[in-house]
């Protein structure tokens, strides 16, 4: 572990878009950055080598899943998450709040925290701000997230306000329980639904506590891209410029481009990995469904511009065959492609911000993405 | 494609065990060799790079599966199997006979060949010796296999005789239909059940036709290791010394050691790959079931002597976690380990034959394998 402080350096801007660098105990992350999701201590269908080769510098893991299996204590006993899953780079863990909220009838929320039943075996568990900090410490996360209540959508303004204020109280307790170590950081999570006043109130509450970074939570939960971007427009200007900004659980390539344009720095989403297992490939010319029969005899790569193993070595016809035959290699190859595509998209945006050409680059990407898949043979 | 002739060079012997080299249009194969099974143009859960890294030089693919999906004509149009699946090395294809015989009620055998219904969509297909040669030519197999009828076990001697003689007639027609090309070879398949006289008759019939190699078929179908080895004992001495000998569909590490001891050169089996997906790991100290709870906190590698990524980078605890969580990476890592273990076993046997120490090495391996898994922590 390096002794350097957890820090964020803002290196360049282009309009509202920011080019930065996060320094953690386990290395640096160039931003804007997309973190592949390794829910249960594995980015599904990829070896850590493949994740690295795709260009990812930081990954996300899930407190909720890991506390239930194999357990935070087990991972701590095995040397922490980096060693357990052979990912020596930075890891961000969510606090488990979002997953617990999704349990619906299986959970009960009080001021103290959340009690819930495991979806695996029905056993009862408790997640408080203090316990969430404990677990993330045991996992050895470079970036821990405060425990929050992810406000449902739709919610009345009164519900959103109550929920947000509970999250702010939990944020304070999380901050107090977080164990400071060099190179480790704690992020607050802005809530408040789609209500600008509540979002602003949430930002002010978090800034008064003080965090190493600020996440925007409670979005991409069904509100649609327009409301999501409007919420970013009314939230981001209140966030401090000298801290990283993380949009949780987002999103499509277009979502990422439009959020980077609004000054967001970090993202995570299961979309590239999940799509990789369900035959949906992301390309510069939009999405491709590899189960479609028109690929059966197509000798061309999925994306001729892509450097990933699936595109360099295999044809659309072969990927189509693997998906039709339900071979594991199908999901392995397409996941690696999708994660590479997302990483290269972010690298392209970073270069554009550095070059001061973000708007032109973003417009070109968006036009290409909207163009749709390449012509059939 | 190299213009060199398909050939087999016998380099050394130690007792009956043989150290050789097969030269094909797509490269050489050091024998004794184990060929990982790539049924549907993919060694399950492995990239071709991983198969190469494990040390495999030649793989097997299945005519039956590939003729149904994506079709031999499709693969030919896409440049052949090597290009389709990105395996530039030698490929052996079985003739489809064994799979068709397993279809039971879905197939009908005549002197002409076999008609059967696809297990995928019920469509009707015909496999004759001539068609089997055609398909394997379209697939671009370095080693093609004659169409044979795999005699059921148990069978009466009369049934085994009738079945073997049909296979010998088909072997003759296969030889006549095989299109000779430099570096490509055709293997005959010895049948005759567990009856020494029939096996000898089959060998004589095949040798009279003349093949580039000789396979022993119809074993590992339920007869047990003792009868299998006894059949090898009564068959192998009749086979020509200057051609490779291939034991089809075998087997466990112990099966391989005992068959190499009897002068067999080539093997294939789904055991290492299938076991890799069902949590069974092969080690020098026998088999390990990674689902077993005793691995949950075990920081040691599956096999401390193993050079594979699963053993170099991950703990038994992590592999256990992946299998419990049913993550794809579980099968990916353990398959790579098992294939590496099989390749390293063969490499060890080859070195022992070269060094003239085959018997001692075989005895030591067998003792280690029988010793059972390493002690619990």
How does pLDDT run across A81-128, given as a tens digit for each residue? Answer: 999 999 999 999 999 888 888 887 788 999 999 999 998 999 999 999
- DSSP single-letter state for residue A30: E
Of the three residues A269, A288, A314, the one that is the final residue of a domain is: A269
Of the three residues A269, A301, A316, the one that is the final residue of a domain is: A269
Higher per-residue pLDDT: B321 or A119: B321
Output the pLDDT for position B18.
Answer: 98
Q: Does B278 touch chain A (CB under 8 A)?
A: no
Residues of A noted as catalytic: 94, 268
Q: Does A281 touch chain B (CB under 8 A)?
A: no
Q: Does A21 touch chain B (CB under 8 A)?
A: no
pLDDT confidence tier of residue B1, bands split at 50, 70 and 90: very low
pLDDT at B237 over 90: yes
* Same-domain check for residues B168 and B257: yes
ipTM over 0.95: yes
Q: What angle do CA A182, A354, A211 make, to 5 degrees?
A: 30
Q: Is residue B2 part of a domain?
A: no
pLDDT at B359 over 90: yes
- Domain of residue A331 covers 276-371
Specify the 3-state DSSP secondary structure of A96.
coil
Mean pLDDT value across residues B118-122: 90
* Same-domain check for residues A306 and A284: yes
Specify the 3-state DSSP secondary structure of A16.
coil
- Locus of tokens 């492609």: A337
**Measured distance CA(B207)–CA(B218) in Å, rounded:** 18
pLDDT confidence tier of residue A205, bands split at 50, 70 and 90: very high
Judged by CB atoms closer than 8 Å, whether chains meet at B324 and A74 is answered as no
Mean pLDDT value across residues A360-368: 95
Q: Which of A226, A74, A97, A111 is nearest to A152 (CA)?
A: A97
* Same-domain check for residues A88 and A165: yes
pLDDT at B23 over 70: yes
Output the pLDDT for position B169.
Answer: 98
Max Cα-Cα span within chain B: 61
The token pair that represents B191 in the structure block: 């049948």
Mean pLDDT value across residues B103-111: 86
Mean pLDDT value across residues B30-53: 98
Q: Is residue A318 part of a domain?
A: yes
Judged by CB atoms closer than 8 Å, whether chains meet at B327 and A85 is answered as no
Percent of chain B with pLDDT over 90: 92
Q: Does B333 touch chain A (CB under 8 A)?
A: yes
Q: Does A64 touch chain B (CB under 8 A)?
A: no
Q: Does B322 touch chain A (CB under 8 A)?
A: yes
The nearest CA of chain A is from the CA of B68 a distance in Å of: 11
Which tens digit of pLDDT belongs to each residue from A257-302? Answer: 999 999 999 999 999 999 999 999 999 999 999 999 999 999 999 9
Q: Is residue A376 part of a domain?
A: no
Judged by CB atoms closer than 8 Å, whether chains meet at A77 and B41 is answered as no
Percent of chain B with pLDDT over 70: 98
Mean pLDDT value across residues B289-295: 97
pLDDT at B377 over 70: no
Q: Which of A321, A323, A330 to mutate to test the interface with B (most CBs of B within 10 A)?
A: A321
pLDDT at B152 over 80: yes
In this complex, which of B42, B321, B332 lies closest to A47 when CB atoms are compared? B332
* Same-domain check for residues A124 and A254: yes
Q: What is the mean pLDDT of chain B?
A: 95
pLDDT at B2 over 50: no
- Locus of tokens 């619906």: A104
Which tens digit of pLDDT belongs to each residue from A141-174? Answer: 999 999 999 888 899 999 999 999 999 999 999 9
Give contacts of B309 with chain A, Cβ < 8 Å. 47, 49
Q: Does A314 touch chain B (CB under 8 A)?
A: yes
pLDDT confidence tier of residue B360, bands split at 50, 70 and 90: very high
Helix runs in chain A, H state only: 48-54, 63-68, 72-77, 81-85, 97-101, 129-139, 157-177, 196-209, 225-235, 253-260, 271-277, 309-313, 316-324, 328-354, 358-371
Query: Helix B157-177 and helix B196-209: axis angle, to 10°?
Result: 10
Output the pLDDT for position B106.
Answer: 80
Q: Report the CATH number at residue A198.
A: 3.20.20.105
* Same-domain check for residues B188 and B331: no
Q: Which of A60, A50, A62 is nearest to A334 (CA)?
A: A50
Q: Does B313 touch chain A (CB under 8 A)?
A: yes
Active site annotation includes B268: yes
Q: What is the pTM of this model?
A: 0.97
Write down how long chain B is: 377
Mean pLDDT value across residues B13-27: 98
Mean pLDDT value across residues B203-207: 98
* Same-domain check for residues A62 and A189: yes
The number of C-beta contacts closer than 8 angstroms across A and B is 104
pLDDT confidence tier of residue B198, bands split at 50, 70 and 90: very high
Output the pLDDT for position B375.
Answer: 57
* Same-domain check for residues A167 and A307: no
The nearest CA of chain B is from the CA of A87 a distance in Å of: 10
What is the tally of structural domains in chain B? 2
Q: Does B8 touch chain A (CB under 8 A)?
A: no
* Same-domain check for residues B238 and B328: no
Output the pLDDT for position A371.
Answer: 78
**Measured distance CA(B131)–CA(B133) in Å, rounded:** 5
Q: Is residue B257 part of a domain?
A: yes
Closest CA in chain A for residue B293? A70
Mean pLDDT value across residues B108-131: 93
The nearest CA of chain B is from the CA of A111 a distance in Å of: 32
Judged by CB atoms closer than 8 Å, whether chains meet at B329 and A84 is answered as no
* Same-domain check for residues A218 and A285: no
Mean pLDDT value across residues B35-48: 98
The nearest CA of chain A is from the CA of B302 a distance in Å of: 14
pLDDT at A1 over 70: no
Judged by CB atoms closer than 8 Å, whether chains meet at B317 and A70 is answered as yes
Closest CA in chain B for residue A331? B328
Q: Does A313 touch chain B (CB under 8 A)?
A: yes
Q: Is residue B248 part of a domain?
A: yes
The nearest CA of chain B is from the CA of A159 a distance in Å of: 36
Mean pLDDT value across residues B124-138: 96
**Measured distance CA(B373)–CA(B300) in Å, rounded:** 13
Output the pLDDT for position A374.
Answer: 59
pLDDT at B371 over 80: no
Q: Is residue B376 part of a domain?
A: no
In this complex, which of A69, A320, A324 lies closest to B325 when CB atoms are compared? A69
* Same-domain check for residues A228 and A285: no
Q: Is residue A286 part of a domain?
A: yes
The nearest CA of chain A is from the CA of B150 a distance in Å of: 26
Q: Which of A46, A44, A59, A120 is nearest to A93 (CA)?
A: A59
* Same-domain check for residues A341 and A211: no
pLDDT confidence tier of residue B374, bands split at 50, 70 and 90: low
Q: Which of B50, B321, B327, B337 to mutate to test the interface with A (most CBs of A within 10 A)?
A: B321
Mean pLDDT value across residues A199-222: 97
Mean pLDDT value across residues B148-163: 93
Of the three residues B269, B288, B314, the one that is the final residue of a domain is: B269
Backbone CA torsion sign across A157, A159, A162, A165: negative
Mean pLDDT value across residues B122-150: 96
* Same-domain check for residues A51 and A161: yes
In this complex, which of A40, A86, A322 lies closest to B325 when CB atoms are compared? A40
Indicate which residue of B94, B148, B265, B298 is catalytic.
B94
Judged by CB atoms closer than 8 Å, whether chains meet at A70 and B324 is answered as yes
In this complex, which of B40, B297, B324 lies closest to A69 when CB atoms are compared? B324
Would you tell me which residues 285-304 of chain B have a C-beta closer than 8 angstroms to some C-beta of chain A?
296-297, 299
The nearest CA of chain B is from the CA of A314 a distance in Å of: 7
Mean pLDDT value across residues A192-215: 98
Q: Is residue B274 part of a domain?
A: no
Output the pLDDT for position B105.
Answer: 75
pLDDT at A345 over 90: yes
């Amino acid at each position: 572990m390096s002794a350097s402080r957890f820090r964020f350096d803002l290196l360049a801007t282009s309009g509202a878009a920011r080019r930065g660098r996060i320094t953690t105990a386990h290395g640096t992350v160039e931003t804007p950055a997309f973190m592949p999701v390794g829910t249960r201590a594995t980015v599904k269908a990829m070896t850590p080598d493949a994740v690295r080769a795709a260009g990812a510098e930081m990954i996300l893991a899930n407190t909720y899943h890991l506390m239930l299996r194999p357990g935070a204590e087990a991972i701590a006993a095995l040397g922490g998450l980096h060693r357990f899953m052979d990912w020596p780079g930075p890891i961000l863990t969510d606090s488990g709040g979002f997953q617990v909220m999704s349990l619906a009838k299986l959970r009960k929320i009080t001021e103290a925290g959340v009690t819930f039943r495991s979806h695996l075996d029905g056993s009862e568990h408790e997640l408080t701000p203090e316990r969430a900090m404990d677990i993330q410490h045991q996992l050895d996360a470079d970036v821990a997230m405060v425990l929050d209540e992810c406000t449902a959508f739709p919610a009345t303004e009164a519900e959103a306000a109550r929920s947000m204020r509970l999250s702010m109280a939990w944020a304070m307790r999380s901050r107090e329980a977080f164990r400071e170590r060099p190179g480790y950081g704690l992020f607050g999570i802005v809530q408040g639904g789609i209500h600008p006043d509540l979002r602003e109130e949430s930002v002010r509450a978090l800034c008064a506590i003080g965090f190493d970074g600020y996440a925007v939570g409670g979005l991409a939960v069904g509100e649609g891209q327009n409301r999501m971007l409007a919420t970013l427009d009314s939230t981001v200007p209140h966030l401090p410029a000298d801290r990283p900004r993380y949009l949780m659980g987002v999103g499509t390539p277009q979502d990422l481009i439009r959020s980077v344009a609004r000054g967001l720095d970090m993202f995570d989403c299961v979309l590239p990995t999940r799509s990789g297992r369900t035959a949906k490939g992301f390309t510069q010319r939009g999405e491709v469904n590899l189960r479609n029969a028109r690929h059966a005899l197509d000798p061309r790569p999925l994306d001729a511009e892509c450097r990933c193993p699936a595109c360099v070595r295999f044809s659309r016809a072969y990927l189509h065959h693997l998906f039709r035959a339900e071979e594991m290699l199908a999901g392995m190859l397409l996941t690696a492609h999708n994660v590479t595509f997302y990483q290269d998209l972010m690298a392209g945006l970073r270069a554009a911000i550095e070059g001061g050409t973000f708007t032109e680059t973003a417009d070109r990407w968006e036009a290409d993405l909207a163009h749709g898949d390449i012509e059939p043979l």
